[in-house]
Amino acid sequence: MPLIRSWLAAANTPDCPFPLNNLPCGVFSHGAEAPRCGVAIGDMILDMAGLEKAGLPGLAGPLFDVPYWNKVMAGGPDLWTKLRRQLLDLLGEGAVRERVAPHLHPMAGAVLHMPFQIAEFTDFYAGKHHAENVGTMFRGPENALPPNWLHIPIGYNGRASSVMVSGADLRRPWGQVKQPDEATPRFAPSERFDFELELGAVVGTPSHPGQPVTVAEADTMIFGYVLLNDWSARDIQAWEYQPLGPFQAKATATTISPWIVTRAALEPFRSPAPPRERPLLPYLCEPGPMNYDIGLEIALRPEGGDETVICRTNASELYYSAAQQLAHHTSSGCAMNCGDLLGSGTISGPGKASRGSLLELSWGGSEPLAIEGGTRCFLEDGDTVTLRGAAQGDGYLIGFGDCSGRILPALPDPYAR
Helix, strand and coil percent figures for the chain, each rounded to 5: 25, 30, 50
Evaluate the omega torsion of the peptide bond into residue 243 and state whether it is cis, within 30 degrees of 0: yes
Domain presence at residue 413: no
- Hey, how many other C-beta atoms are within 10 angstroms of the C-beta on 411? 11
Q: How many domains does the chain have?
A: 2
Query: Are 82 and 106 members of one domain?
Result: yes
Same structural domain, 105 and 153: no
Q: Is residue 4, in this structure, part of any structural domain at all?
A: no
Residue at which a domain ends, from 57, 92, 113: 113
Q: What pLDDT, on a 0 to 100 scale, did the predictor assign at position 58?
A: 82
3-state secondary structure at position 277: coil
- 221/199 same-domain check: yes
Query: Which pLDDT score is estimated for 56?
Result: 84
Q: If we measure between CA atoms, which residue out of 120, 192, 123, 236 comes closest to residue 365?
A: 192
pLDDT digits (tens, 9 = 90+) for 334-374: 999 999 999 999 999 999 999 999 999 999 999 999 999 99
Compute the distance between CA of residue 56 and CA of residue 48 in angstroms, rounded to an integer: 9
How far is 287 from 321, CA to CA, in rounded Å? 12
- Whether the CB-CB separation of 341 and 161 falls below 8 Å is answered with no
341 in a domain, yes or no? Answer: yes
302 and 251 inside one domain: yes
Q: Same domain for 37 and 93?
A: yes
CATH of the domain at 242: 3.90.850.10
Give the pLDDT confidence score for residue 417 in this predicted structure: 75
Strand spans (E) along 66-221: 104-106, 111-113, 121-124, 155-157, 163-165, 170-171, 174-177, 186-189, 193-194, 197-203
Segment holding 226, helix H or strand E: strand 222-230
The residue from 67, 82, 113 where one domain ends is: 113
Are 212 and 327 within one domain?
yes
- Our measurement of the distance from residue 378's CA atom to the centroid of its chain's CA atoms, rounded to an integer in Å, reads 21
Q: 149 and 33 share a domain?
A: no
Assign 379 to helix, strand or coil: coil
Sign of the Cα pseudo-torsion (362, 368, 369, 373, in order): positive
In a domain, 387, yes or no: yes
pLDDT digits (tens, 9 = 90+) for 277-327: 999 999 999 999 999 999 999 999 999 999 999 999 999 999 999 999 999
Per-residue pLDDT, 57? 81
pLDDT tens for the 417 residues of the chain, in order: 899 999 999 999 999 999 999 999 999 999 999 999 999 999 999 999 999 999 988 887 899 999 999 999 999 999 999 999 999 999 999 999 999 999 999 999 999 999 999 999 999 999 999 999 999 998 999 999 999 999 999 999 999 999 999 999 999 999 999 999 999 999 999 999 999 999 999 999 999 999 999 999 999 999 999 999 999 999 999 999 989 889 999 999 999 999 999 999 999 999 999 999 999 999 999 999 999 999 999 999 999 999 999 999 999 999 999 999 999 999 999 999 999 999 999 999 999 999 999 999 999 999 999 999 999 999 999 999 999 999 999 999 999 999 999 999 999 999 987
Does the annotation mark 105 as catalytic?
Answer: no
Asked if 65 and 174 sit in the same domain, the reply is no
Catalytic residue, chosen from 103, 105, 113, 130, is 130
Q: Do 43 and 154 share a domain, yes or no?
A: no
* Angle of CA points 332, 133, 369, to nearest 5°: 130
- Give the count of beta carbons closer than 10 Å to the beta carbon of residue 15: 8
How much is the pLDDT for 1? 86
Please report whether residue 416 resides in a domain.
no
In a domain? residue 324: yes
Which of these, 293, 382, 333, lies nearest to 1 by C-alpha position?
293
- Phi and psi dihedrals of 268, rounded to 5? -70, -10
At 367, the amino acid letter reads E
Regarding whether 181 and 311 lie in a shared domain, the answer is yes
Residue span of the structural domain in which 42 resides: 9-113
Task: Tell which of 83, 113, 143 closes a domain.
Answer: 113
Q: Are residues 156 and 271 in the same domain?
A: yes
308 in a structural domain: yes
Q: Do the Cβ atoms of 330 and 211 come closer than 8 Å?
A: yes
Residue 133, phi then psi, degrees to nearest 5:
-65, -50
CA 102 to chain centre: 32
In a domain, 415, yes or no: no
Q: 267 in helix, strand or coil?
A: helix
Q: In this structure, are 108 and 165 located in the same domain?
A: no
CATH code where residue 27 lies: 2.30.30.230
Nearest-5° angle of CA 151, CA 229, CA 43? 125
Q: Which residues of 287-324 are buried (b: 16+ CB within 10 A; e: fewer)?
A: eeebbbbbebbbbbbbeeeeebebbebbbbbbbbbbbb
